């Protein structure tokens, strides 16, 4: 009896796996165009926190900290400008 049930379930699973058409599958959700920018912003903020932590530990001099912080802040400004440009282009496309 158990063998018959196992065989039946195996046949059903194989039939479903082999005969599902791509058109029967649900469409994937559209990709978020801001995902890349959000990841870049998160990485920059994390680097800024690490930089401040290393300054507090004494691993960085004030001069090195200032240069690195300025570099990260300019990179962040560029990312934010790209986000604004993308928002503007998506807004004008509607």
Gyration radius (Cα) of the chain, Å: 26
DSSP 23-49: GGSPPPPPPPTTHHHHHHHHHHHHHHH
Prediction pTM value: 0.64
pLDDT digits (tens, 9 = 90+) for 68-77: 999 999 999 9
pLDDT tens for the chain, residues 1 to 94? 999 999 999 998 888 878 777 777 788 887 888 999 999 999 999 999 999 999 999 999 999 999 999 999 999 999 999 999 999 988 776 5
Are residues 15 and 72 in contact, defined by beta-carbon separation less than 8 angstroms?
no
């Amino acid at each position: 009896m158990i063998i018959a049930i196992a065989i039946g379930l195996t046949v059903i699973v194989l039939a479903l796996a082999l005969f599902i058409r791509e058109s029967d599958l649900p469409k994937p959700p559209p990709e978020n165009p801001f995902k890349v920018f959000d990841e870049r912003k998160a990485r920059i903020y994390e680097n800024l926190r690490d930089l401040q932590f290393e300054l507090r530990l004494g691993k960085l001099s004030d001069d090195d900290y200032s240069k690195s912080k300025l570099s990260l802040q300019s990179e962040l400004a560029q990312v934010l400008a790209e986000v604004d440009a993308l928002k503007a282009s998506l807004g004008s496309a509607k």
